[in-house]
Amino acid sequence: MSGRGRHRRQSNRRLSRRMSRASLALTAGGAGIALPLVATGNAHAASVSTWDKVAECESTGNWSINSGNGFYGGLQFTQSTWSSFGGTKYAPRADKATKEQQIDIAEKVLEGQGPKAWPLCGPKAGLTQNSGSPDISPDSSGAKAEQEDQQKAKPKPKPEADSGSKSKPQGSRFHTVSRGDTLYGIATDEGVDGGWKKLYDANRETVGSDPDLILPGQKLTLKGSEAKPQPSGGKSDSGSTAKKSSATKSSATSDSSGDFSAPVSSGTSTPYGASGGSWSSGKHTGVDFSAPSGTSVKAVTSGTVVQAGWGGSYGNQVVLKHEDGKFSQYGHLSSISVRPGQQVSVGDQVGASGSTGNSTGPHLHFEVRTSPVYGSDVDPVDYLRQHGVGL
């Protein structure tokens, strides 16, 4: 009888006799051969399609991503996790490995740590310790797949518009999307009249229904763009004047106490600690501020940038370390204005609000933590109020 027949129960007597015969036949040291009689077969495995969903949430499905934030590859491995679970036998970092090799290591992480290793994207993708078995060949598929991934990962050459666009007639310019680009950033840098909304309207067929999801290699028309200074005193497109400088001070308002400031000048929406199935921990670990895409996001107090880049479910994020030992996090940004190691002061712009990552619409997700990692959160509203910020 085949060992795969799970729905037909064998009698205990017959099964006992078979196991006894196997054991007697292997007295000389082949005990490992008896394992298939009792093994359940990849109990911790997940299907390739499930891993694809996790990667789509963590990195928008980019298996060779390295945004400089300490997380690598489609499943956003840290270097320590990649090394600890044997990933270096394939490549020095996860983003240098093929998709199949990353899934192979992810299977080992899943077995050792469970779905909580991907606390936000795992549950969203339906990842469990028995959600399928991946059909992969990490060793045999390596060279070709790695070469293809590296070709995809190569940055696209800057379009002609970047080197000589100012001399070209208005309306004839284009921009080829590179990794890390946003519509807001492109519109600001290229001087698109009408800002990112106008740029999106002109490229809706190319971009699709989500203006926060643009892909490397897409060619966007810069119709109506011209390299010109931003008008002073006129209508500002969601803080584009502040985008010109990575350290623009905010004016003193009621949401500032001098040494501390609110991250945006708007009200809160989803509160800290709100419960629900939308979060893997069962609660909201930060507070959301209502903010249209492109709104200037400010450092709540002085500190050092420790992370600036893609943060999985948080999309584009910035994490600052402050003098009191706390960390502040700014998530779902449409663009980032700082880089790791940079010193910022209270009110300096660190980015612009958006809807990247696991988000249902433009807003700012703000957290205060006791460490830079997920799960060390404290009430961010109480933190700001304790330092004199009125919300």
270, part of any domain: yes
Q: Is residue 334 part of a domain?
A: yes
Asked whether residue 222 falls in the same domain as residue 250, the answer is: no
pLDDT of residue 155: 53
Q: Tens place of pLDDT for every residue, the chain, 391 residues?
A: 444 444 444 444 444 444 444 343 333 334 333 333 333 444 557 788 889 988 888 888 889 988 777 788 989 888 888 888 899 999 999 999 999 999 999 999 888 888 888 887 888 888 886 655 666 667 654 444 444 555 555 555 554 444 443 333 444 488 888 766 777 778 888 888 888 788 888 888 888 877 767 777 788 888 755 444 444 443 334 343 333 333 333 333 345 556 899 999 888 888 888 877 666 667 888 899 988 888 999 999 999 999 999 888 888 999 999 999 999 999 999 989 888 889 999 989 999 999 888 888 899 999 999 988 887 889 999 999 888 888 7
* Together in a domain, 261 and 369: yes
For the chain, the first-to-last Cα distance in angstroms comes to 70
Longest Cα separation, the chain? 90
Q: Is residue 11 part of a domain?
A: no
Question: Does 220 lie in the same domain as 253?
Answer: no
Q: Residue 114: which region, alpha, beta or left (left: phi > 0; alpha: psi -120 to 50)?
A: left
For the chain, what is the domain count? 3
Q: Are residues 223 and 256 in the same domain?
A: no
369, 268: one domain = yes
> Tell me, what's the pLDDT at 300?
92
Residue 283 inside a domain? The answer is yes
| Gap between the Cα atoms of 325 and 264, Å rounded | 22
- CA of 291: how far to CAs of 104, 198, 216, 295, 299, in Å? 40, 19, 26, 6, 15
Give the range of the structural domain holding residue 177, as residue numbers without chain letter.
165-228
Is there a domain that residue 42 lies in? no
CATH code at 78?
A: 1.10.530.10
Which of 152, 181, 197 is a domain's end point? 152
In the Cβ-directed half-sphere of 198, how many Cα atoms lie within 13 Å? Answer: 15
Position 8 scores a pLDDT of: 42
Residues 207 and 257 grouped into a single domain: no
Read off the pLDDT of residues 205-246 as tens digits, 9 standing for 90 and up: 888 877 767 777 788 888 755 444 444 443 334 343 333 333
Which domain-ending residue is among 203, 228, 253?
Answer: 228
CATH of the domain at 201: 3.10.350.10
CA distances in angstroms from 311 to 91, 217, 326, listed in the order given: 22, 22, 19
Q: Is residue 158 part of a domain?
A: no
* Residues 255 and 306 grouped into a single domain: yes
Residues 358 and 324 in one domain: yes
In a domain, residue 6? The reply is no
Asked if 212 and 337 sit in the same domain, the reply is no
Residues 256 and 382 in one domain: yes
Q: Given 97, 117, 152, which residue is the final one in a domain?
A: 152
Q: What is the pLDDT of residue 368?
A: 94
Domain assignment present for residue 367? The answer is: yes
Does 306 lie in the same domain as 206? no
Asked if 89 and 118 sit in the same domain, the reply is: yes
The closest alpha carbon to 289, from 364, 356, 351, belongs to 364
